[in-house]
Copies of this chain bind each other. A is one copy, B any other.
């Protein structure tokens, strides 16, 4: 196998879109794009100079790299109809093991540890790429492609990757939900939520130099049950947020008083 020069995409969602655009920008040729939504495939094809195809069987078997970037539940289904290709086939999932692709001769994982939205631009240079491969040769090729996009390229096993994915859900999905809770609470009271932005920024800034276990502050850490009770009263209108608040407070109170 020579160096990877051409890429086809299976999927046209957030990750596929960002990756296809970045790979094109890096000088690779985007061949075909297959997607359950042909409309989305056409949109991405137009942006990348690729060709939208209607069935997976139409994939050109002579492309160097095939990137499967679709919901986890759909990967197995796509594999059933996947043509026998000599190029490398990768998926971009955090949680699906690499061996779901093992019926193919060359395969791997190309997992960008980042949150992607079609709507927001993203600096690909800061994205860590987690690579896994069916052979050393494939590994080198995938690392080379990844390093065209970002200086952060890591060899990560399927086992490690699933923990990274879990951790990513916590720091991204769930902290985003906490931000939403906080914004909702303020909006209900007519208070501008942008007041919280400096605090949010500082929260992140702090953990760059201080482990979050050390950086932890607040009523639950100092076992200030009076403040916790007041907060719970304020949450009467938001029973779901109250439930979540309570568990955080319980765990933090317990954790920091066991430690002291």
Contact = CB atoms under 8 A, between A and B. Distances in A.
Interface of A: 14, 71-73, 95, 113-117, 119-120, 122, 126-128, 152, 154, 156, 159-160, 162-186, 189, 191, 193, 195-204, 206-213, 215-222, 224, 226-227, 230-231, 234-235, 240, 243-245, 247-248, 251-252, 254-255
5 contacts: A164-B191, A166-B185, A175-B175, A176-B206, A179-B207
A208 B184 CA distance: 15
Nearest to A174: B248
Contact of A195 (B128, B175, B176): B128
B183 A212 contact: yes
A167 B180 contact: no
A72 B226 contact: yes
**Interface of A: prevailing SS:** helix
B71 A199 contact: no
Nearest to A93: B227
A168 B113 contact: no
A17 B239 CA distance: 37
Given A115-B202, A170-B182, A210 B120 contact: yes
Nearest to A119: B210
Given A120-B209, A173-B248, 8 more contacts: A72-B227, A95-B227, A117-B210, A117-B215, A170-B245, A174-B178, A183-B211, A244-B247
Nearest to A231: B166
Contacts of A210: 117, 119-120
A184 to B, nearest CB: 8
Nearest to A120: B206
A258 to B, nearest CB: 11
A113 B245 CA distance: 19
A78 to B, nearest CB: 15
A177 B216 contact: yes
A217 B174 contact: no
A196 B71 contact: no
A245 B177 CA distance: 12
B209 A173 contact: no
Contact of A115 (B154, B199, B224, B226): B199
A231 B168 CA distance: 11
B163 A170 contact: no
Contacts of A167: 181-183, 185-186, 193, 196
Contacts of A251: 177, 240, 243-244
Contacts of A156: 191
